[in-house]
Amino acid sequence: MNNNPWWTNAVVYEAYVDRFAGTFAQFSERLDYLEALGINCVHVLPHYPSPMADVGYDVSDYRAVRPELGTLEDFSRFTEQARQRGIRVIVDLVLNHTSTVHPWFIEARSSRTSPRRDFYMWSKDGKNLLEAINPFEHVTRSNWVFNQETGDYFYSAFYPEQADLNWDNPNVLTEFLGIMDFWVAHGVSGFRLDAVAHLIKREGTRSKGLPETHDVIKKLRAYVEKRYPEVAFLGEVSAPIDTLKTYFGTGDECQLLYHFPMAEWLVVALTTGDEATLGAQIAASDVIPKNCAWAFFVRNHDDLSLATLSESEQARLFSLLDPEGKYTFGSGIALRLASIFNGDKEKLRAAFTLLFSLRGATVIYYGDEIGMKNDEKRKPVPDVREYVRGAFDWAEARRAMADARSLWAHVARLIRAKT
C-alpha cells in the first residue's frame, strides 16, 4: 500500500473551464472523460471574476466565480462530483498582484490617505527598485505605472493592469489566509502559487526569490498545515534546480514545484537528440525533502520557457521551433506540444513516455493528450500565448477514445501504469 501523500503521485490535468468545457456545470458533465483517462487531480486555471487583461490572472474578486463560468454553487457541485470520482481540484492563488479594478486597489489609488493604500507599493517618481526584474520587458518598459488620481506611481511586475501587493503589510497575509479558508470550504485540495518568487521587493536587488519571500510561503504553509494537512501548494518558480529546491524549504514550504528546467531539457532531448544533459538534470533533482515532489510537465498554458538554458541552447531551439519569431514571447516560445513536434505521433508518444518515466507528480495540459496544435484560427494578438489556449477538440477526443492505437490511449496506459 502506498502511504505517501496524494500529491507525490498525482496526475494533474491543467485546463481552462471555458475552453475545455464551457462552464463549471458543463465541466461536471465532462468529468467522465477525465476519469476514463485516469486523471486524479484537476488544476482549474483562473476562475475568478476578472477583466481578463491576463487571461484571469488579474483577479478582481478572490471569493467568487467569473459569471460566464457559472456560480459558486456550480463550483461546489463540480468539486463534489470530482471528489466522488477520486479527482482532487487545485485552483490558482494569485498572490503577487490583483487587478487594478479590484476593490482594494480602487480604494488604494483614490487617495494617499486611503486605509488600503499600504496594500500596494507606491513611488513618488517611479525611480525606486530600478534593479528589479521586469518579467514582461518585451511588453512594458517599466515596473512603475502612473496613477492619475494621486499623481504618483504604483508597482506592477507584469501587465500594467496588475498592481503588485505589498507583502510587507501583514494585513495582506491575513486576507489570503481567509481566501484559502473560503476555497477549502468549497472543496479545493490545493493551491497553485502563481509567480510566488516575486512577492517581496527590496532596493538594490532583482526583487525575485528574496529570503523574505520564503518567510511568507512558510507562514502560508504553517497555517494550512495546522488546519488542512491534506491541502497542497504547487509553486510556480522558473529557476535553476538548486534555486528551485529552496522553495521546498525543509519540507515546510511548497509540497510540489513545477520543474521548469526539466521541461526545457525534455524538449531539447526530443527535438535534437541531446539526452546527455537530461540525465544530469534528473540526477541533480533527486534529493528533496520527504513528502515533497516535483511536478513534471512538458507544456502548459504559458510559453515554453527557455530561461534556464544557455544563450546558444536558446538560439538552437528558436531556430528549430520558431525561426520566424511568430510565437516568441520574451525568452520563450508559445507552442503546444503537437506544434513543437509538427504532429509527429511517434515524437508525441516518446514525449509522454519520457515524461511519465520521471518520479513525481505529472502535469498534462488540456488537449495535449489528443495532439491538439496551436489554434491558428486566432487572429494575431499582442500576447502570443493565446495560440496555445484554443477550445478543446471534443470531436477529436471522441475519435481518440475509440482507437486503441491513439495518442490518448497511449497516455491512458501510461497513467494506469503510474497510478
The residues that are catalytic are: 194, 236
**What SS3 class is residue 344?**
coil
Residue-wise DSSP of 143-191: SEEEETTTTEEEE-SS-TTEEEB-TTSHHHHHHHHHHHHHHHHTT--EE
* C-alpha span between 159 and 52 (Å, rounded): 11
Give whole-number Cα distances, 400 to 394, 404, 409, in Å.
10, 8, 7
| Cross-strand bridge partners of residue 363 | 12
Contact yes or no for 363/258 (Cβ under 8 A) = yes
Sign of torsion over alpha carbons 372, 373, 379, 384? positive
Within 10 angstroms of residue 311's Cβ, the number of other Cβ atoms is 9
- Which residues, in sequence order, are CB contacts of 401 under 8 Å at separation 6+? 33, 36, 408, 409
* C-alpha span between 99 and 97 (Å, rounded): 7
* C-alpha span between 340 and 348 (Å, rounded): 9
* C-alpha span between 32 and 418 (Å, rounded): 19
Element (H, E) at 260: helix 260-272
Within 10 angstroms of residue 374's Cβ, the number of other Cβ atoms is 20
| Cross-strand bridge partners of residue 296 | 362
Q: Which three cell numbers stand for residue 313?
A: 541552447
Query: How many residues belong to the chain?
Result: 419
Contact yes or no for 336/297 (Cβ under 8 A) = no
Q: Which three cell numbers stand for residue 276?
A: 546527455
* C-alpha span between 259 and 281 (Å, rounded): 10
Q: Which three cell numbers stand for residue 307?
A: 530561461
HSE of 191 in the Cβ direction (CA atoms, 13 Å)?
27
| Cross-strand bridge partners of residue 361 | 295
Complete edge-to-edge strand list for the sheet that includes strand 328-329:
304-305, 332-333, 328-329
Q: Which three cell numbers stand for residue 194?
A: 502563481
